[in-house]
Structure 1
Amino acid sequence: MADTSVAWDTYSAQRPERRAVNSCGDTTWFNWTQYPDHGPGAEVLGLPAHGRVLDLGCGKGGNAAHLAALGMDAVGIDVSQAQLHAAEERWGSVGGLALHKSEAVTFLRRAADVYDAVYSVYGAVWFTDPAALLPAIRERLEPGGTLAFSQRPAVEGCYGCQASYIPRGADEDPLVVKRWDFEPAAWERLLKEYGYTEVRAEVLAAPPGRRKVGTLIVRARA
């Protein structure tokens, strides 16, 4: 397996920047899916006014910056310095936003803070062993706090720990990282085993058009 920092730095170079505005003309917004202007927004997190929220695998920071712009105390972590540099370049002036370089489980185990919500959009929940991550998240959530995450739905028959490939140059082998895929019902069972309640996992259909792959969205409470 590839060094995760190197892998996600490589991935960062391949990702386009978030648009300057969305279809509504907003300069910040929350997006759970792989499609622009599609799906629910920050309301999924059920945050109180001026709540504290943690983004696991914040990437280039757009979702966390939106929450900070709404008045939240938003913390984003990522293992990729390249991703964080891009986030600082674009969103560093947004008040209430803090960014840290760290692996998710390490950060959660060392943290003293608790959060009203923890979330991951195609981020650390997809790429971290849930046996280590889910208990660590629960320890850092306020009672009744929300865990929410999104990722691609599992390929039929390919469940549990899988290999995920990050392409490089034409003459280079792709980098390989681990990811964890489960059907919605399996995610619900797993979260309940780790003490979460009000668990709901469902696949949101792709927007109309040629695209067929939807988005798995999971929400639970501590």
Structure 2
Amino acid sequence: MPPHTPAEYWDTYKPHRGEGEQPAPVIDGFEWTQYPGHGPGAEILGRPARALDLGPAEGKEAVFLARQGCEVTGVDLSAAQVARATNWWRSEPRLRFVHADACDFLTADTQPFDTIYSVWGAVWFSDPEQLLPLVAKRLTPGGTFAFSQAEPTPGAYGPQPMHGKWLEGRAHELTVLRWQYTPQTWTNLLKRHGFTDIDARVLSAPETGMLGTLMVQARTSA
């Protein structure tokens, strides 16, 4: 039976590093791009006491922050990914993973966060008109919102379909939506929802012809 919901999509196509129990990944940095050692690290988040990771998947960035003394909550739509990350990182005292939709969690949970971030995660797959006001409400004054995703394809803006079969070469295919905009459009969206100090740009790949990374940072008013 093929998957029929976004949650089943991620349960089916992720984790995709092999069948059965996999070893935990090595945590040796905070990566915003798909190219190790390329681009900024956790320093763009400042030194938050409490952070929210939207769509943490394996939880590598969340673990990195937790080991720096930050209290981190990772929220993921996939029960499979939450179970895997919880099993891998159960000995990390400052880290917890929650199975929930990002918007649902931000609506139901009222605790404030010094930073909310997403590394190729839930921000990419959430309608910004719904997500951004919720993020703004949960950030402390002067808090940082940051996210990364693939650079947008020219002319393909707004909600775009992404097909799942290629991830594993499986017979079944499910389409989920991801939201793509130019850096200027992201800037306008964030301004409209009350964010300031906005830096939205495309970070070029380390080699010509490779996919770049959209990087966005913003703050709430102090």
TM-score past 0.5 threshold: yes
- Paired position in structure 2 for 1:203: 202
Kept in 1, the 8 Å contact 2:86–2:96? The answer is no
Partner AA of 2:9 in structure 1: A
Q: Which amino acid aligns with 1:31?
A: E
Q: What CA distance in whole angstroms lies between the structure 1 residues aligned with 2:181 and 2:86?
A: 33
Q: Which residue of 50, 56, 63 corresponds with 1:52? A: 50
1:78 to 64, 76, 79: 76
Partner of 2:62: 64
Paired with 2:123 and 2:17, the residues of 1 have a C-alpha distance of: 19
**Which runs of 5 or more structure 1 residues have no equivalent in the other structure?**
22-26
1:37 offset after TM fit, Å?
2.2
Q: Which amino acid aligns with 1:117?
A: T
2:154 alignment partner in structure 1: 156
Report the Cα distance in structure 1 between the residues aligned to 2:11 and 2:183, rounded to whole angstroms.
30
Q: Aligned-pair distance for 1:81?
A: 1.2
C-alpha displacement of 1:29: 2.1
Large movers: runs of 4+ above 3 Å: 15-21, 168-171
Please tell me the residue identity of whatever aligns with 1:78.
Answer: D
Aligned equivalents of 2:76, 2:8: Cα separation in 1: 12
Mapped partners of 1:67, 1:194: distance in 2? 27
Partner of 1:5: 7
Write the letter of the residue equivalent to 1:166.
G
Match of 1:187 in 2: 186
- Matched residues in 2 for 1:153 and 1:65: separation? 26
Spell out, residue by residue over 1:182-208, the C-alpha distance to the aligned partner (whole angstroms, 9 max, x if none): 011110111001110001101111123
- Report the 3-state secondary structure (helix = DSSP H, G, I; strand = E; otherwise coil) of the residue aligned with 1:138: helix
Relative to the length of structure 1, the TM-score reads: 0.90
2:120 is aligned, of 102, 119, 122, to: 122
CA contact (8 A) 1:114 1:142 kept: yes
Alpha-carbon contact 2:66-2:72 (below 8 Å) kept = yes
1:28 deviation in Å? 4.0
Percent identity (aligned): 43
> For residue 36 of structure 2, what is the aligned residue in structure 1?
36
Instruction: Give yes or no for the alignment of 1:167 onto 2:165.
Output: yes
* Residues 25 and 60, structure 2, Cα contact 8 Å, conserved in 1: no
Q: How does 1:92-131 map to 2 (within 5 A)?
A: 92-131=90-129
Q: Using the alignment, how far apart are the partners of 2:157 and 2:197 within structure 1?
A: 23
- When residues 19 and 170 of structure 1 are mapped into structure 2, their CA distance, relative to the original with a 3 A threshold, is closer
Gaps of 5+ in 2: none
Which residue type is aligned with residue 130 of structure 1? P
Farther-moved stretch of structure 1 (11-20 vs 191-200):
11-20
Q: Deviations over 1:11-54 (max 9, x none)?
A: 21324779854xxxxx4421101112221111111124xx1000
Equivalent position of 2:16 in the other structure = 14
TM-score by length of 2: 0.90
User: Which SS does the other structure have where 1:88 is aligned?
Assistant: helix
Q: CA deviation at 1:122?
A: 0.7
Mean Cα displacement is larger for which, 140-149 or 29-38? 29-38
Partner letter of residue 153 of structure 2? V
Cα 1:77/1:214, change in 2 over 3 Å: same
